[in-house]
Structure 1
Amino acid sequence: MISKSFIEDMKNKVSIVDLIDSYVPLKKQGKEFVACCPFHSESSPSFKVNEEKQIFHCFGCGENGGIIDFVMEHESISFSDAVETIAAKSGLTVERVYSRQPVQKKSNVEAKLTVIVKNVFSKRGESLTNKYDINSKTISELDLGAAINSQGLQQIINNDLNLKKTSALINFHSGYLKNPSDDMCLVVPLYKTNKQFAGLYVNSPKTPYHIGVKGDDRGLIYNPNKILERNKPIIILPSIIDTIKGYQVGIPNCVGVADTHKKSLTGEMLRSYKANEIYYIVEKDQVDTRQLALDLLASIKTSNNIIGLKVLITNDKINLPNTVAAYGIEVLPDILSKSNTWYDFIGRELTRSQDTNSEKFKAEMSKLLLDTFTQSTKHKDVPLLLHFVAEALGKCSVDINSIFHLASKSISEHVEEDLQRTENELMKKHVEYSNQIVAGIPIKKIDSLTALLILESKGVVEQTMTEDVCSELISVIGENTSLAKVVQLIEDNGYINAVDIKKALGEVEYFQVNNCLQEFMLDDWFLADTKLNISLITKNSNIVETTNLINLSPSI
């Protein structure tokens, strides 16, 4: 377990500006630093970093927190992984505390056994050369291995009951490969974006599978390059084999889908690697292209990660790594130029072999786009993304004007009307919520306490909202308040992020709490005013004398 004192010390030593600037270039603006938010797409910067308060806040999407929160969100990793990452970047040695009888987590034991399996497989890596046309240099650089039903390993595992149980948990039952035909197949070590080992990708001739801690390959992209080159597009190749061969022939920024549970690209994967241009190479015979189009359309419901994606359909005669190997890297731009934007790809696949003049088809497309909007989180880019798709449907139609007006104009008008109706309803809810008085206390004061608790839970400000204080406040204001919900969230999860908070509070309540968090960024007296609210509420309710516990001077 990582020492709490080390975490606090790290927060004090590591500059949030320097850390975030290593991920996103920051620009000084008054007392703060600004940038376009790395967590959502925007053209003007709404992401602000306050060095003195050691906090960041995006006024566009609401993400906020300290150095650990930023790395957790940016790299999609756990709290402890984020601490490890920051420590490594800052040259700090992580301090841990152990009980007298330390008990290893099950996942740690599973990971250690996976490493042992990896080392056994790696010894046979050289045998891959002839079977897969991978040279020795690539095998060595990428630490590739070949699967084997090792009798020695099987004996070691089966002689130890705990190891035998663990082997089943990592999908390597009693030291045996899943299929007899897996012997000598390619095995690729996987790593998360923070370089943490994430198990083995077994390129089984039947169906690829993962050996390692369950779930470690979820949403994972295999990146043999370790570091991606800036200002160059990311190229997602159709298989792990192609990704390795792409690396071997010098294709820059080539990656591959390593999640063995997914058959196509997902929004979660797109979030892992951000770039202005992303090319997804698809082998026509290996992928249901219509289903891929529907999957891509569904991904816009929750995010705009799809922006910048282009899709290139190939066949068995056109293999990108082989073509580059034969004709040189110079042919790459010409090949990529034949790709379609994600929305043109969707339009083409949804209109393929359809009677685009029929009223039935038009009604189906309209319903599909309307359902996508209705089921979305209503993030600000949904209407624009849907409009792109609607226009693409029009371009792919035989009767361009007819389908364009139905799918594009009508959808756009409906989206605008729906947005207006939604905004009016939402505004009404906000007004009703803002006017609430709970136990004689304006709701905004309660939400400011919630904002303070969130900041304290992330270690951004010194703790005032102790368990006792929170319990006493909730006894006054009740369980159906933002404060009570966030307290419960912290008790259940131990650590919270923006997604958890939004889910627990709901859209209106989250918006009001988020406004209070924004006030902390903008108003140096917010902290003092909020702490004064604690004192007034508790004193008026004759619960506890908190005046001596609270420092009312602002944190400036």
Structure 2
Amino acid sequence: MRIPDEKIDEIRNAADIVDVISREVSLKKRGKNFVGLCPFHSEDTPSFTVSREKQIYHCFGCGAGGDLFRFMMEFKKISFVEAVQEIADFVGIPIEPESGYSEKYKAQEELYDIMSAAVRYFTEILHKSKEAEEARNYLIKRNIKPSTQKLFNIGFAPYGWDNFLTFAKQNGIDLQKARLLGLIDTKQNGDYYDKLRGRVIFPIHSTNGRIIAYGARILDDSEKTAKYINSPETPIYSKREVLYGLFHSKEEIRKLDRAILVEGYMDLISLFQEGVQNVVASSGTSLTEEQVTLLSRFTRNIYVLFDADAAGQNAALRSIEILLKHDFDIKVVSLPEGEDPDSFIKKHGREKFQEQLQKAQNFFEFTASKYASEGRFDDPSTSAAALREIIKSLALVKDELKLNFYIKSIARKFNLREKLIEKELDEFRKSSSGRNETRKVAAASYARPQVAAAQKANPYERELARLLLSGKEEIVDYILEKVGSESFRHPNLKKIAEIVAECHKQNNVSTANILDHITEEGLREFLRLWLMKDEQISTISDKWDNFYISGKLEKDTLEHAVQTVRNYFIYKIEEEIKSNNELIQTNNDEMLHLELLKRNKELYEQKKELLNN
């Protein structure tokens, strides 16, 4: 069922997020907000905050957050439509389904239905068909219990060229769409045939439990064919955006506030079966930005546990950089030579596995150990290069306190002065930022100085973005008219401004509606955390309600917006003047000097006009 957008807005506007959440969580008023113990992870001190003003919630412990619909979905493990229906019942608004689905939605739903039907077919074959005897024996040999097989919907595609094809025809499945999903393929003459034959099927679930793809493994490793066939990219599946097993493991990950990252399906299934249930798998691919962003919704503490061979250890090394970028606390687990997570836990059990976790190294210790085993510290020249690689990773650590501890650890291990490591770190950051090179290029090419100046972050952007999220039409109107979303330089603030502009066209600039229009989870989290931090400030200090640079203006008024826009443009002008003066001092071209002086005169006039208005 599709619920019209207008009806969703009506339900959202009629419900109060505090009333909805307080039915499930005990909340206490604290300043403007309400706080309580988070229902999504274990805690003793309340970090779960609900804003009545913005109609959103955020947990400062585990990072969970969203609007009232998101809360119901996560708390009750229900779909978006079910969450809307439940809240509609609570506020007494009847829902009549829209007469027709959108074409895109209908097409996606059909793909979901085909994939679900296929998995039901494969699982039934595994459990009931004589043809699957070999597959059942394979799973017994791999110590995968029948209950675990059912939990993960494991199935079997029988040998033969038309078994699933016949099933699809008998059940009215669109064959072109089945081909799109990688379930069947076509011969040169255009006839269809089964793509999956004699393979164990591992279905892949979305985070909310829908079957979206598969991995299909051969039974006999000696066969001269691909060990795995994986689903192609489809409208319902992007390999970069999915972590295998997250649907089954997300609650345990939240509860323990840590995840174990493994490579393959069997690694995850074996660990899960033995009671290690805070585990996800990258499905044999290199970890991606999208996967890490997804995992960060549930925890920022991770144990990387790849195979003990060289390929597995190199994959662990590659994962470190992307995890550090997303501010994860990283531990790397090294298993004994020749072992993988699947084989280790079957041989040694859960208790020994937990001991391996306790021996895990932080990213610096792991990287240093790996380089030492490769002999990279045996020679002064290779030692310096290896140490610089470690410092390159260190530059990604955002937490200054952690960074300080890492610097001390490196200094102790290599008997170096901390100042030397700090110097190398600063040099790397400078070279990666490219500031010096940009300035040289700008001066040499006589680039328009305002272009260079515009790249520097304007401190008033943040306040302008916050005002765009005030929910007040007149303020949003004014800022979009005077500044425009295209003027923002900070990447996240620019995206937010663009989304507000879209919502403005639809005449709904409420914070909850803006959050709904953000599809990128990392940006949603950035916005929630930012807004709720502002709310925390407001509950701590009454002075915040009247704070502004002048000390005279209340926030979230049109007058405040006008003053912020004025200050935004004054700052831009001052930065351009400053940049022009620097170029005049460093460049000997007289024609350029005249052009810049003329431009500065125009800028001073513009600034004077702004100050007088």
1:63-462 alignment to 2 at 5 Å? 66-67=67-68, 95=95, 97-100=97-100, 103=103, 105=105, 106-126=107-127, 127=132, 128-133=135-140, 134-148=144-158, 151-155=162-166, 163-174=174-185, 183-203=197-217, 206-210=227-231, 213-215=236-238, 218-223=241-246, 224=248, 227-228=251-252, 230-231=255-256, 234-248=259-273, 250-259=274-283, 261-262=285-286, 267-268=292-293, 270-274=295-299, 278-285=302-309, 287-301=311-325, 303-305=326-328, 307=329, 309-316=331-338, 318=339, 320=341, 324-325=345-346, 328-356=349-377, 358-365=379-386, 367-369=388-390, 371-372=392-393, 376=396, 380-381=398-399, 383-384=400-401, 400-402=414-416, 408-411=421-424, 433=458, 450-456=465-471
SS at match of 2:269: helix
Structure 1 residue 245, shift from structure 2 partner = 2.5
Aligned in 2, Cα 1:366/1:123: closer, same or farther, shift over 3 Å? Answer: same
Distance 2:101 2:193 in 1: 39
Please identify, of 7-16 and 44-53, the stretch whose mean Cα deviation from structure 2 is larger: 44-53
Q: Which residue of 1 aligns with 2:473?
A: 464
Asked whether 1:15 is paired with 2:40, we answer no
Give 5+ residue unaligned stretches, structure 2.
Answer: 219-225, 436-452, 507-512, 548-552, 564-613
Structure 1 residues 390 and 179 mapped into 2: Cα distance closer, same or farther (>3 Å)? farther
Name the SS of the counterpart of 1:530 in structure 2.
coil
**CA deviation vs aligned residue, 1:358-384 (integer Å, no higher than 9, x gap):** 44334424543555566x5xx742x55
Instruction: Report if the CA contact (8 A) 1:221-1:269 is conserved.
Output: no
Distance change >3 Å, CA 272–CA 14, structure 1 → 2: same
Residue type of the alignment partner of 2:469: I
Determine the structure 2 residue equivalent to 1:55. Answer: 56
* Contact 2:263–2:285 (8 Å) recurs in 1: no
Rounded to whole Å, the distance in 2 between the matches of 1:256 and 1:513 is: 30
Residue 442 of structure 2 is matched in structure 1 by none
Partner of 1:6: 8
* Residues 333 and 432 of structure 1, relative CA distance in 2, 3 Å threshold: closer
The answer to whether the 8 A contact 2:392-2:428 is kept is no
Query: Residues 337 and 528 (structure 1 numbering): CA distance in 2 closer, same or farther, change over 3 Å?
Result: closer
Q: Given residue 143 of structure 1, which amino acid in structure 2 is its aligned partner? A: N
- CA displacement, residues 343-368 of structure 1 (integer Å, 9 cap, x when unaligned): 32122223332342644334424543
Q: 1:112 to 1:269 in 2, by over 3 A?
A: same
Q: Report if aligned partners of 1:448, 1:516 keep a CA contact under 8 Å in 2.
A: no
1:120: Cα distance to partner? Answer: 1.4
**Residues 416 and 479 of structure 1: CA distance in aligned 2, closer, same or farther (over 3 Å):** closer
Uncovered stretches (5+) of structure 1, i.e. residues with no partner: 423-427, 435-442, 457-462, 538-556
Structure 2 length as normaliser, TM-score? 0.60
- Sort the Cα spacing of 1:9 and 1:512 in 2 relative to 1 into closer, same or farther, 3 A: closer
Task: With a CA cutoff of 8 Å and minimum separation of 6, indicate the structure with the bigger relative contact order.
Answer: 2
The Cα of 1:296 is off from its aligned counterpart by: 0.5
Local SS of the residue matching 1:354:
coil
SS of the aligned residue for 1:287 comes to helix
Structure 2 partner of 1:549 = none
1:309 partner letter: K
CA distance in 1, matches of 2:533, 2:256: 35
1:332 deviation in Å?
A: 3.6
Give, as a single letter, the amino acid of the residue that structure 2 aligns with 1:337: Q
What SS class does the counterpart of residue 215 from structure 2 fall into?
strand
The residue identity in structure 1 corresponding to 2:117 is I
The separation in 2 between residues aligned to 1:429 and 1:345, in whole angstroms, is: 41
SS at match of 1:297: helix
Asked if 1 retains the 8 angstrom alpha-carbon contact of 2:266 and 2:342, the reply is: no
Q: Which of 1 and 2 has greater Rg? A: 2
* Correspondence 1:530 to 2:544: no
What amino acid does structure 1 have at the position aligned with 2:270?
K
Aligned to 1:554: none
User: 1:500 Cα shift?
Assistant: 8.9
Opposite residue 136 of structure 2, the aligned amino acid is T
Q: 1:406 to 1:195 in 2, by over 3 A?
A: same
Q: Write out aligned runs for 1:485-500 (5 A).
A: 488-490=498-500
Alpha-carbon distance change, 270 to 358 in structure 1, aligned in 2, over 3 angstroms? farther
What corresponds to 1:541 in structure 2?
none
- d(CA) in 2 for partners of 1:502 and 1:231? 22
Q: Secondary structure at the match of 1:300?
A: helix
Aligned position for 1:546: none
| Greater Cα shift, 208-217 or 54-63 | 54-63
RMSD across aligned C-alpha pairs, in angstroms?
5.8
Which of the two has greater helix per residue?
2
- Cα distance per residue 1:36-55 (max 9 Å; x no partner): 9999xxx9998743346533
SS in 2 for 1:312: coil
Which residue identity lines up with residue 165 of structure 2 in the other structure? Q
Cα deviation, residue 295, structure 1: 2.8
Assess, with a 3 A threshold, how the Cα gap between structure 1 residues 514 and 499 changes in structure 2: closer, same or farther. Answer: farther
Deviation at 1:156, TM superposition (A): 6.7
Residues 109-134 of structure 1, C-alpha deviations (whole Å, 9 max, x = no match): 22222112112111122333311222
The one-letter code matched in structure 1 to 2:148 is T
Contact 2:51 2:57 in 1 (8 A): yes
Secondary structure at 1:108's aligned position in 2? helix
- The number of residues matched between the two structures is 485
3-state SS of 2:202 partner:
strand
